[in-house]
């Protein structure tokens, strides 16, 4: 029998979410290497598949059809995803420099960041045009342009700078889409050299005929010298009218590679036959790499490099032999023609027809299915013999992290009720309050503690959320955070990794506490089965505390954050939540509530919405104050994706326990109502505010950039919640 989880000993970092890295993550998830902490760094929760971009621009595919969900893929691979841009490398220290957070250490790193496609140094381009790569901003700009044309805010005039295969495909795709929208497109393809270099004469003529048929004008041997708000100026002095200008003028390396110290070729990372750079600990693949035998910048090479890269990364982590990558001499060029037809070329031969588009469609959909249909990993098998109740207690899904892993409210209430009444005169709060109030030399000090079982593989993000979560009780009582003591339980790992993890965690937490006027005064660390973070926090009261017991009939209820985090985290664990929605939920959880607490400091009662869910915490106010409440379900803000997941039956593991209070409620049967029992991590403040103060408070919250909402009111009567 294994002695618990194996320790972590090596850091493997993948920089960029390109096709090769996506395939490496997929294969890693099916056969992870014990002892390795895998990290993916990519700006954004999704990565576009370039092969389907022309089809998306033409209107044949939705945006979701061509996006690889990196959050789901990282969950499958057991990797942490850092949603940030890389700004550089320090190969000597083996650190990846990342915007907005501490450097990320690595033992082995791989770079798959693609290319830029903007025309170098073209005046006005940055202000008035959009580059095709990265693909995401271009796709967003295209959709806005179509909407502007439809609303007569822009004319259907497009200029495309760069007349290679990609430029021709996108010109035809944009012309097709604008024509399908009922417009007469004016698309001009511009290149300072000849169009379609590297293609056979027959294929080139076919594409030129299709461009002419669809009204795409070609201006070759025409160098652009400036881009304006509504035109592109050529060297000849000709001005081409364009309400949208797009750049796809060749492959350009990303600028930060120049300062890495790696050997470069024309700005791209020079690699050997084993895809290794001049630094033995760094590999590079895809368009950002320069192969020993030069090849075109095409996604097919990145796809075929993936298995070799995966093998060689494992080889360097285990001491086994690497493989050589042998690129094919040529590749099948399937070029779409705007509509659902295509031309294909290989070795100079050409074919044309709608059946080729169907072939391309099958190839593209089969590739994307690799990431949309990730294998379901088998559940751990129980021993042959177990005590009664083990299977039932274990349940049929993994336990949630964060507040979803907490003990139910009834158990905690009963345990607190059994405690003796405080005997010390310097303890002036009741056990049911959000935090303890202590009298110290005439000063009222608020004391609370909280910890979270990690629900994300990123300790930096987890530490920020844990810090915000721990201060929730301080803010809810109207106090100002003062000091914090950290409790950190790390999974087993090598000592250098322990130092790096602790430094990252403490830097993240300190950034949150210091910004709220508190300092980390010390802490305790230990080793355990998984990452768990907690903080004991003290705060100072300048005036009377805001407790649970002051709500009055007529008070209006204000909530400062949307609900749904428990459902989204449960969906992420089972790879059913969309990555962009998961990352948005993490960002909401990491938002501090100090400004909101100061604005709501005159509330009659206040609490932070955490493990018991909105309904449970609202009922706590009602019970302590001897009142009832009415909630307007439609007014309660909900995190994007949470209601849809709830409708599919996704629940946090604490949901059934939280739902027990439904006997003290009148509520509809709907997925949105189910979210009232969803445990929140680092949730918003729920405040009962006097009617004459509510509008002022809501306006002040809005001015502070806090998306708060009035969700109901306090009523006379017994502790009962009516939901309408």
Model confidence over 109-149: pLDDT tens digits?
Answer: 999 999 887 777 899 999 999 999 878 889 999 999 999 99
Indicate the pLDDT class of residue 467, thresholds 50, 70 and 90.
Answer: very high
Answer yes or no: do 567 and 716 share one domain. yes
Answer yes or no: do 178 and 316 share one domain. no
Distances (CA, A) of 568 to 72, 188, 397, 530, 667: 12, 45, 15, 21, 22
What is the mean predicted confidence (pLDDT) over 375-392?
A: 75
Task: Could you list the beta-strand ranges (E) of 404-464.
Answer: 436-440, 443-453
Owning domain of residue 526? 434-545
The alpha carbon of 251 is separated from its chain's Cα centroid by a whole number of angstroms, namely: 27
From 326, 341, 362, the end of a domain falls on 326
On whether residue 350 sits in a domain, the answer given is no
Q: What is the pLDDT of residues 231-267, one digit of tens each?
A: 999 999 999 999 999 999 767 899 999 999 999 999 9
Answer yes or no: do 584 and 713 share one domain. yes
Distances (CA, A) of 354 to 215, 341, 358, 364: 20, 4, 7, 15
Answer yes or no: do 147 and 227 share one domain. yes
Answer yes or no: do 495 and 551 share one domain. no
Q: Determine what percent of the chain is predicted with pLDDT higher than 70.
A: 95
On whether residue 512 sits in a domain, the answer given is yes
What's the 3-state SS for 330-375? CCCEEEEECEEEEEEEECCEEEEEHHHHHHHHHHHHHHHHHHHCCC
Cα–Cα distance between 569 and 462 in angstroms, integer?
13
Residue 404's pLDDT is 59
From 545, 575, 600, the end of a domain falls on 545
On whether residue 676 sits in a domain, the answer given is yes
Cα–Cα distance between 709 and 724 in angstroms, integer?
16
The tokens describing 588, both together, are: 């909401």
Does 202 or 507 have the greater pLDDT score? 507
* pLDDT for residue 309 is more than 70: yes
Residue 331's pLDDT is 76
Burial class (CB within 10 angstroms; exposed 0-12, middle 13-18, buried 19+) of 546? buried
Cα–Cα distance between 722 and 614 in angstroms, integer?
13
Q: What is the pLDDT of residues 423-446, one digit of tens each?
A: 888 888 755 676 899 998 889 999
On whether residue 405 sits in a domain, the answer given is no
| CB-side neighbour CA atoms (13 Å) of 35 | 7
- Enumerate residues 6+ apart whose C-beta is below 8 A from 217: 186, 187, 188, 189, 211
Answer yes or no: do 522 and 581 share one domain. no
Angle between helices 299-318 and 19-30 (to 10 degrees): 40
Cα–Cα distance between 682 and 278 in angstroms, integer?
45
Residue 610's pLDDT is 96
- Enumerate residues 6+ apart whose C-beta is below 8 A from 127: 227
Domain containing residue 493: CATH number: 3.30.1330.10
Q: How many residues does the chain have?
A: 724
On whether residue 391 sits in a domain, the answer given is no
What is the mean predicted confidence (pLDDT) over 86-100?
A: 96
Residue 442's pLDDT is 84
Asked if 124 and 226 touch (Cβ cutoff 8 Å), the reply is yes
* pLDDT for residue 683 is more than 50: yes
- Enumerate residues 6+ apart whose C-beta is below 8 A from 169: 54, 335, 336
Answer yes or no: do 98 and 133 share one domain. no
Q: What is the pLDDT of residues 596-650, one digit of tens each?
A: 999 999 999 999 999 999 999 999 999 999 999 999 999 999 999 999 999 999 9
What is the mean predicted confidence (pLDDT) over 150-169?
A: 96
* pLDDT for residue 411 is more than 80: no
Q: What is the pLDDT of residues 205-236, one digit of tens each?
A: 999 999 999 999 999 999 999 999 999 999 99
* pLDDT for residue 1 is more than 60: no
What is the mean predicted confidence (pLDDT) over 481-507?
A: 97
* pLDDT for residue 381 is more than 80: no
Distances (CA, A) of 618 to 66, 339, 547, 608: 43, 56, 13, 10
pTM above 0.75, yes or no: yes
What are the residue numbers of the active site? 403
What is the mean predicted confidence (pLDDT) over 538-548?
A: 94
Task: Could you list the beta-strand ranges (E) of 248-329.
Answer: 264-265, 268-270, 282-284, 289-290
What is the mean predicted confidence (pLDDT) over 481-510?
A: 97
What is the mean predicted confidence (pLDDT) over 466-473?
A: 98
Closest CA to 460 of 106, 100, 43, 34: 100
Residue 428's pLDDT is 81
Answer yes or no: do 219 and 275 share one domain. no
Whole-angstrom distance between the N-terminal and C-terminal Cα of the chain?
Answer: 54
Residue 650's pLDDT is 97
Answer yes or no: do 181 and 71 share one domain. no
Answer yes or no: do 708 and 651 share one domain. yes
Does 624 or 382 have the greater pLDDT score? 624
* pLDDT for residue 569 is more than 90: yes
From 268, 297, 326, the end of a domain falls on 326
Domain containing residue 638: CATH number: 3.90.650.10
* pLDDT for residue 152 is more than 70: yes
**Structural domains in the chain (count):** 4
Residue 2's pLDDT is 46
The tokens describing 40, both together, are: 């993916």
Answer yes or no: do 101 and 148 share one domain. no
Distances (CA, A) of 39 to 95, 459, 576: 13, 11, 21
The tokens describing 650, both together, are: 């996704």
Answer yes or no: do 566 and 683 share one domain. yes
Residue 397's pLDDT is 65
Q: What is the pLDDT of residues 323-352, one digit of tens each?
A: 999 988 777 888 999 999 999 987 666 777
Domain containing residue 54: CATH number: 3.50.50.60
On whether residue 356 sits in a domain, the answer given is no
On whether residue 511 sits in a domain, the answer given is yes
On whether residue 401 sits in a domain, the answer given is no
């Amino acid at each position: 029998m294994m002695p618990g989880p194996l320790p972590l000993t090596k850091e493997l970092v993948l920089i960029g979410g390109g096709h090769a890295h996506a395939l490496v993550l997929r294969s890693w998830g099916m056969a992870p290497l014990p002892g390795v902490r895998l990290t993916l760094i990519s700006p954004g929760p999704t990565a576009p598949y370039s092969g389907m971009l022309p089809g998306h621009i033409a209107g044949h595919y939705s945006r979701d059809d061509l996006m690889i969900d990196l959050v789901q893929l990282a969950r499958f691979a057991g990797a942490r995803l850092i949603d940030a841009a890389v700004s550089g490398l320090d190969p000597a220290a083996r650190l990846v420099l990342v915007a907005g957070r501490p450097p990320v250490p690595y033992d082995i790193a791989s770079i798959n960041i693609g290319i830029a496609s903007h025309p170098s140094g073209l005046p006005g381009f940055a202000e008035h045009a959009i580059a095709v790569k990265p693909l995401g901003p271009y796709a967003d700009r295209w959709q806005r342009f179509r909407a502007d044309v439809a609303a007569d805010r822009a004319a259907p005039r497009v200029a495309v700078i760069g007349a290679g295969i990609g430029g021709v495909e996108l010109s035809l795709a944009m012309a097709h889409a604008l024509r399908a929208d009922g417009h007469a497109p004016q698309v001009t393809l511009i290149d300072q050299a000849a169009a379609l270099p590297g293609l056979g004469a027959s294929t080139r003529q076919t594409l030129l005929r299709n461009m002419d048929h669809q009204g795409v004008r070609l201006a070759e041997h025409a160098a652009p010298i400036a881009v304006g708000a509504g035109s592109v100026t050529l060297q000849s002095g000709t001005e081409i009218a364009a309400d949208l200008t797009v750049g796809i003028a060749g492959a350009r390396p990303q600028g930060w590679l120049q300062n890495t110290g790696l050997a470069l070729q024309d700005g791209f990372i020079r690699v050997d036959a084993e895809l290794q750079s001049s630094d033995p600990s760094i590999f590079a693949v895809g368009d950002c790499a320069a192969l020993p035998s030069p090849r075109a910048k095409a996604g097919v090479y990145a796809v075929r490099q993936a298995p070799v890269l995966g093998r060689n990364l494992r080889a360097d982590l285990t001491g086994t032999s690497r493989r050589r990558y042998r690129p094919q001499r040529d590749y099948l060029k399937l070029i779409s023609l705007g509509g659902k037809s295509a031309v294909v070329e290989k070795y100079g031969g050409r074919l044309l027809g709608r059946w080729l588009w169907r072939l391309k469609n099958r190839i593209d959909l089969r590739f994307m299915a690799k990431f949309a249909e990730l294998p379901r990993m088998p559940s751990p098998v129980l021993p042959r013999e177990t005590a009664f109740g083990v299977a039932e207690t274990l349940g049929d899904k993994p336990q949630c992290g964060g507040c979803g892993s907490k003990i139910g409210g009834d158990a905690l209430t009963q345990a607190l009720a059994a405690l003796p009444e405080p005997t010390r005169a310097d303890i002036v709060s009741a056990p049911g309050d959000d935090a303890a109030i202590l009298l110290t030399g005439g000063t009222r000090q608020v004391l609370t503690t909280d910890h979270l079982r990690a629900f994300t593989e990123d300790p930096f993000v987890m530490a920020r959320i844990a810090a915000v979560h721990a201060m929730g009780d301080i803010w809810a009582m109207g106090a100002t955070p003062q000091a914090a003591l950290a409790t950190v339980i790390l999974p087993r790992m090598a000592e250098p990794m322990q130092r790096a993890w602790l430094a990252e965690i403490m830097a993240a937490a300190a950034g949150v506490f210091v910004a709220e006027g508190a300092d980390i005064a010390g802490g305790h660390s230990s080793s355990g089965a998984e990452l768990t973070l907690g903080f004991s926090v003290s705060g100072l009261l300048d005036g009377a505390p805001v407790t649970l017991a002051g709500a009055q009939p007529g008070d209006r209820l204000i909530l400062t954050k949307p609900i749904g985090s428990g459902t989204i985290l449960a969906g992420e664990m089972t790879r059913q939540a969309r990555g962009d929605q998961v990352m948005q939920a993490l960002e909401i959880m990491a938002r501090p509530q100090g400004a909101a607490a100061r604005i709501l400091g005159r509330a009659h009662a206040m609490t932070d919405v955490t493990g018991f869910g909105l309904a449970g915490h609202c009922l706590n106010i009602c019970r302590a104050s001897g009142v009832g409440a009415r909630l307007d379900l439609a007014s309660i803000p909900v995190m994007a994706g949470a209601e849809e997941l709830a409708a599919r039956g996704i629940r946090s593991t604490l949901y059934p326990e939280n739902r027990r209070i439904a006997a003290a409620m009148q509520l509809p049967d709907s997925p949105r109502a189910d979210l009232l029992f969803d445990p929140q991590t680092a949730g918003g403040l729920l405040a009962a505010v006097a009617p004459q103060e509510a509008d002022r408070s809501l306006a002040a919250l809005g001015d502070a950039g806090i998306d708060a909402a009035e969700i109901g009111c306090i009523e006379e009567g017994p502790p009962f919640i009516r939901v309408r």
